[in-house]
Every structure is written in structure tokens, then in C-alpha cells.
Amino acid sequence: MLQCPGETKTNSIFYAVILNDVLQQSESLPVLIVGAGPIGLELSVALHRCAIEHLVLDAGSIGQTMSWWAPGTRWFSSNERIAIAGVPLLTPDQGKATREQYLTYLRSVVAQFQLPVCTFESVIDVRPDAAGYVVTTRSTAGENTYRCGAVVLAIGGTDRPRRLGVPGEDLAHVDGYLREPHRYAGRRVVIVGGRNSAVEAALRLHHAGARVTLCHRGEELPEDGIKYWLLPEIKGLIAAERIRGCFGCVVTEITPSHVVAQSSQGERRLAADDVLTLIGYEQDKTLLQRIGIELTGENLRPQFDSETMETNLPRIYIAGTAVAGTQTSKYKTFLENCHDHVDKIVTHLTGAHGDHVESVKPYARQIVSQPES
């Protein structure tokens, strides 16, 4: 068992770089975390407090998923629910954190605890050996290998946009992400989708001066799938015809100038300078499948022990929203209800029971009964 003697501090603000250099010559590392999002970093802090050497690798930047959110996008969850490692998340107006505020917060946690994080280094394979696992990575410097006793996959579940599967989806003016709202000013934008992401994008682009059409396959907006503070405004703007609502429409083709949709009244052609297909996101299962993680159910969820977070492979763990696979439009697994994964993993690694996650303990019961995301 790994030992957990209590919190310690490293001696260098360049700890990540130094540890990475040391690993080139060392035989093994106790734990390697894949993913530098909130749960990966929260686990890193917990291991740091237990004086357990480890390394965090990410194929992108710290908080990579949030880096592609449009500027100014706010979290749906309250700050106390998405804070990590007992570090308060404070905003100037006490409101929900924006993308920029939360990315700054994550960087501050890395700096405060001098976490060993290496970004833009992709894990491409994990293979067992006599001492545990050999992890192969790729970066701009080439391929590298690490040996470790345990691997934690905190890789998230929203790696790429879902696809419509229609002709024209790969045209240059079609995008699965909302970008800087200013760029859409004065343009005709068709947004495909009818839940939170699509509705929020419609509102933001309308206020930025775009001419917005919201195209949804349902006969009306799913009120139970839209946040309460978004619903009255979108319904009012559609009723006033300031945002065009196109309901009961299934997109069949995208051309350079139009979105073609089929409805009960026949074919509709919606003029579009830009098309946003905001219909959800998918988990990239390449690494999971390559290393032999069993995937189950419609969402292809990784198989794991809910008490320890260990997968079907010994000492390979899964954490965070990655546990849910590719979620449907009715998300049930969010950052706010994943904090306990850290406790479970550290307890299983060390054999020492304890509260390794401090940030959400007072809210744990409420989070389960009343999730905000």
C-alpha cells in the first residue's frame, strides 16, 4: 500500500519540469493521472497532501474542455459546487464563474500546490509490465514512456461535437462550437439544437446582433431540459419573432447558403451564413478501447467498481465525467457530483480512509438531491 503521512510541500515552482526530467531516468512512479481538468487536478492535490509522487498529463491545456467554450460563458453550477481541493472559488459579483474566471482558478490551484502537470502531451497507449504499467505519450518533442504503479483516467466525456450525419456538415461555415459572439454580428445564423447549449448560443448571438434561427426537431422546446433563467427569455424572443423558431424540423442537408430541413409541412430552406450544430458532445473512446477498458451500455460507459473507481484492469482507475461515457441530452454526471471519486481512489491506493476532498463536503447531500448542472 502507498503511505499517506499528511500534507507536504515541494521545494520548486518548477516541480513539473523537474519531475518530468527525473522520470526519464527513474524506474517507476506510483501514480500517473491522465487529464488536467478539475477532477484530475483535485486528485493531484489529494496525492500531494499524501506525499505520493505522481504526474498529471494532458493532451491539451489545463482545463482543456473549458478552453473551447465561447468567451464569457458561465457555468451552470454554483461556485461552491465546482470548487476543488478546498480552495474557494471567488468571483467579483459572487455570481457563477465564467470560463475565464474558472481557467484562472485552475491555474491558481496548480501554482498554489505546485502540481506536477505536463500539458500538450497525449497518452497514446498503456501496457502492463512486471511493476505496473508502461505509459507511452506523444508531444511535439516526440514519443516518451513512463513507468507507473497505477493510472487514473480523468479524461472527461465531451471530446468532440456530435454529428448530424447529413451532407454538407463538413462545410467551412458549419461548426459544432460557439465561438466569440462578436464574429456573428449582422450574420444569419442557424443554430441546430434545442437544449441549453443551443438556447444559450441563440440568446448570446441575438444580443450580439446576429439574425438567429433556432432549428429543433421537437415540436417545442423541452422545458425540462433548459435552465430556468434561460427559458423565459428565449420563449419571449421567439414569441416576438425576434428569434425565429423552426420546430418539428429535421435537418437533411446543409448547403453553402441554406440549411435544408424536413417538417410535417414539407421541406424548409433556412438561409444561413453560419450554422452551429449544438446537439451535444461525444467521448473519445480511442484510449479506453486501446488499453482494454470494458465499455458497457448504450453510452459505452467504462466498467468500474463504484466503491473504488477501479476499472476491469487492476490499478487503472476512472474518474470524473469520464465514468458516464457519451451522455445523452439528459446529462446526469457533472463535475459537481464527481468529487467523491477522489476520496475513493486515494482510499483504495493507500488503504487509509479519510476526507481527501474538502471543497464540497457541506453540500454533498444537496448536490445529489438537487444537481444544478
What per-residue confidence (pLDDT) applies to 8?
Answer: 41
What per-residue confidence (pLDDT) applies to 5?
Answer: 42
What per-residue confidence (pLDDT) applies to 362?
Answer: 57
Among residues 133, 171, 179, 372, which one has the least CA distance to residue 257? 171
Q: What domains does the chain contain, in order, with CATH numbers? A: 15-159+281-369 (3.50.50.60), 163-277 (3.50.50.60)
What per-residue confidence (pLDDT) applies to 124?
Answer: 97
| pLDDT one digit per residue (tens) for the chain, 373 residues | 554 444 444 433 444 554 555 455 456 899 999 999 999 999 999 999 999 999 999 999 999 999 889 999 999 899 999 999 999 999 998 899 999 999 999 999 999 999 999 999 999 999 999 889 999 999 999 999 999 999 999 999 988 999 999 999 999 999 999 999 999 999 999 999 999 999 999 999 999 999 999 999 999 999 888 888 899 999 999 999 999 999 999 999 999 999 999 999 999 999 999 999 999 999 999 999 999 999 999 889 999 999 999 999 999 999 999 999 988 766 678 899 999 999 999 999 998 765 655 545 555 555 555 555 5
DSSP 7-31: ----S-TTHHHHHHHHHTT-S-EEE
DSSP 95-160: SPPBHHHHHHHHHHHHHHHT--EE-S-EEEEEEEETTEEEEEEEETTEEEEEEEEEEEE---S-SE
What per-residue confidence (pLDDT) applies to 331?
Answer: 65
The distance in angstroms from the start CA to the end CA of the chain is 36
Sign of the torsion formed by the C-alpha atoms of 224, 228, 234 and 238 = positive
pTM of the full structure: 0.87
What per-residue confidence (pLDDT) applies to 158?
Answer: 87
What per-residue confidence (pLDDT) applies to 14?
Answer: 44
Taking the C-alpha atoms of 72, 78, 81 and 82 in order, what is their torsion angle to the nearest 10 degrees? 0
Q: Determine contact, residues 56/342, Cβ cutoff 8 Å.
A: no
Q: Determine contact, residues 275/188, Cβ cutoff 8 Å.
A: no
What per-residue confidence (pLDDT) applies to 20?
Answer: 52
Among residues 80, 72, 79, 61, which one has the least CA distance to residue 98? 72
Q: Determine contact, residues 91/79, Cβ cutoff 8 Å.
A: yes
What per-residue confidence (pLDDT) applies to 21?
Answer: 52
